[in-house]
Chains A and B, each alone.
Chain A
Amino acid sequence: MAKLASAFVSRLVIIIPYAWLLFFFLIPFFIVFRISLSQTAVAMPPYMPVFDLAGGLSGIAQKLREFSLDNYVWLTEDALYFNAYVSSVVIAAISTFLTLLIGYPIAYGMAKAPRSLRPTLLMMVILPFWTSFLIRVYAWIAILKPEGLLNQFLSTLGLIDQPLIILNTNWAIYIGIVYSYLPFMVLPIYSALEKMDLSLTEAAQDLGCTPAAAFWRVTFPLSLPGVVAGCLLVFIPAVGEFVIPDLLGGSETLMIGKTLWSEFNSNRDWPVSSAVAIILLMILVIPIVYFQNIQAKADGEGR
């Protein structure tokens, strides 16, 4: 009996977080989906009869008939939304590539650092991640402004006559994303490189590879799992990013996270913002599932 009870208690370890995530993570998506199919007038805040089963079966049938794809039709008809999706994906892809370009040498340098120095370097990469995202994005406004610190610095050096216009352009968004997500790129690449057997590169060089060839043919392919994980960790959240385009991008910058936010907060159109969220999720579902598989595989290897 005691054994049975304790088996039940250990089962709770699964049941409690499982139930929590089902209720607060999975079910909400169905609600979003349900509302995205409803008419604007019906679903106006603050009240929506989502779990209204009082009408019984005929009530449910009635509800089903009320479902409409109007919001999705509306989204496809308005070029604004389509452009916002496309430009979010493009901006996120460019930023991810830039983050990789900057992050890889940092991770590589860290992995090559003397062993005693590595924990400190690792902590220094993680530390900015703990400081507020909002603050780090905010810090760039003062730097990138036309009269900001970067332009002051460059004109003191005599490199520019006219201030560079960076704030409120896509370049500011790239800088913001690269800066904010850099640790997410560096950490997985670093851990892939650190685990690597260094004798492999040495062997390649002994067999006549130039250092560059040894890097591209041995080191880089072996670090690829880290590169892929890093790119996904940057790309997926960047597509739906709100704070960076809102604070650093200009008014004409189109990103879907910003569109969703303003649709929700300014226009108070819940069904349309739900539809925007559902389409965004459909775009991201493939990279997200891919990311989950990588994570699950990494657990399997760690065992």
Chain B
Amino acid sequence: MEKWSRFNIASVVLGFGFLYLPIVLLVIFSFNESKLVTVWAGFSTKWYGQLWQNQSLLDAAWVTIRVALLSATCATVLGTMAALALVRYTRFRGRVLFSGMVYAPLVMPEVITGLSLLLLFVAIGFDRGFWTITLAHITFTMCFVAVVVQSRLLSFDQSIEEAALDLGATPVRTFFAITLPVIAPAVFSGWILAFTLSLDDLVIASFTTGPGATTLPMKIYSQVRLGVTPEINAICTILIGVVALGVIVASIVTRRREAQREKDERAAFAAIG
């Protein structure tokens, strides 16, 4: 293996600097004393204090969290099913259309997804609000879950499953006893991904919402249009903190479970050998 050259190190460091610097600056200026977000005037947490006074903001945050929890959970179930369908059933009628429908939402511009879902809800006369946002979020996030779970299923040693089936377990029982424990880390990261995608979404939520259901991104967006303020920086910092913490915890848990699983497998093979 060639060594890690200076050029390689420089491109990685500069690249990460580019990725992280804007976020770091945003976090720093959320603690700015001054109302200006570009001139540093001393440390203060007053903008965070003000957030708790802002009732409409808190309401929006509550709506967003409920939508994200509900939609991520449903999307994880549906997305895992879709991944199983794609990996375990290599041929069924309409498989090409199905895989197309799983992959297309990953790249579909949000304005199109949002508009088409809104027109669907109007056409079937569904009252728009909390539930329509949730349904819309399930639809686009389940495809991300499907891709994450699918990649795990592809590297899965199918012979364990076949052994369980040969020993007389039903497919359903095999899934819960064998498959699910193995793919659990991927299912879990799929859930986290769906949750954060739902938490972030502005465009699709704006199209599918109705009276009374304002999400946090919609709230942030309407304030951002009026200008940059440290208060928005403070909300953003809290959101970044929550997501970063969640992702780091998730990845530590996943890595630990992977290591445990590998150890178990090695022990099992040693026992057989």
Residues of A within 8 A of B (CB): 2, 6-7, 9-10, 12-14, 16-18, 20-22, 24-29, 31-32, 35, 45-48, 50-51, 102-103, 105-106, 108-110, 112-114, 119, 121, 123-128, 130-136, 138-143, 145, 147-149, 152, 179, 182-183, 186, 198, 201-202, 232-233, 236-237, 239-243, 247, 257, 260-261, 264-265, 270, 273-274, 277, 280-281, 284, 287-289, 291-292, 295-296, 299, 302-303
Chain B residues positioned under 8 Å from A132 (CB to CB)? 196, 199-200, 217, 236, 239-240, 243
Known contacts A270-B119, A292-B100; A17/B78 CB under 8 A: yes
Smallest distance from the beta carbon of A269 to chain B beta carbons, Å?
12
* A260 CA / B119 CA spacing, docked (Å): 14
A–B Cβ pairs within 8 angstroms, 17 of them: A2-B170, A6-B170, A9-B172, A14-B92, A24-B139, A25-B104, A105-B7, A109-B15, A123-B251, A125-B16, A127-B247, A128-B20, A131-B240, A131-B244, A133-B202, A139-B23, A145-B38
Interface residues on B, range: 35 or more
- Interface of chain B: mostly helix, strand, loop or mixed: helix
The reply on B180 being an interface residue by CB < 8 A is no
Smallest distance from the beta carbon of A271 to chain B beta carbons, Å?
10
Contact call B116/A31, Cβ cutoff below 8 A: yes
Known contacts A51-B123, A135-B239; A112/B5 CB under 8 A: yes
The reply on B271 being an interface residue by CB < 8 A is no
Chain B residues positioned under 8 Å from A183 (CB to CB)? 19
Smallest distance from the beta carbon of A178 to chain B beta carbons, Å?
9
Chain A residues positioned under 8 Å from B196 (CB to CB)? 130-132
Residues of B within 8 A of A (CB): 1-2, 4-5, 7-12, 15-16, 18-20, 22-23, 25-26, 29, 37-38, 78-79, 81-82, 84-90, 92, 94, 96-112, 115-117, 119-120, 122-124, 135-136, 138-139, 142, 146, 150-151, 154-155, 170-172, 192-193, 196, 199-200, 202-203, 206-207, 217, 220-221, 224-225, 228, 232, 236, 239-240, 243-244, 247, 251, 255
Contact call B26/A17, Cβ cutoff below 8 A: no
* A10 CA / B89 CA spacing, docked (Å): 10
Smallest distance from the beta carbon of A225 to chain B beta carbons, Å?
15
Chain B residues positioned under 8 Å from A303 (CB to CB)? 90, 154
Contact call B104/A109, Cβ cutoff below 8 A: no
Chain A residues positioned under 8 Å from B38 (CB to CB)? 142, 145, 147-149, 152
Most chain A CB within 10 A, of B2, B101, B117, is at: B101
B199 closest partner in A (C-beta)? A132
Smallest distance from the beta carbon of A139 to chain B beta carbons, Å?
4
Contact call A28/B116, Cβ cutoff below 8 A: yes
Query: Could you say which of B8, B101, B225 contacts A108, with CB atoms under 8 Å apart?
Result: B8
* A145 CA / B5 CA spacing, docked (Å): 36
B246 closest partner in A (C-beta)? A130
Contact call B79/A17, Cβ cutoff below 8 A: yes
Q: With A124-B19, A292-B99 given, can you name 9 additional A-B contacts, CB distance below 8 Å? A: A9-B171, A13-B88, A18-B94, A25-B104, A31-B123, A103-B15, A128-B19, A132-B236, A299-B154
* A201 CA / B20 CA spacing, docked (Å): 32
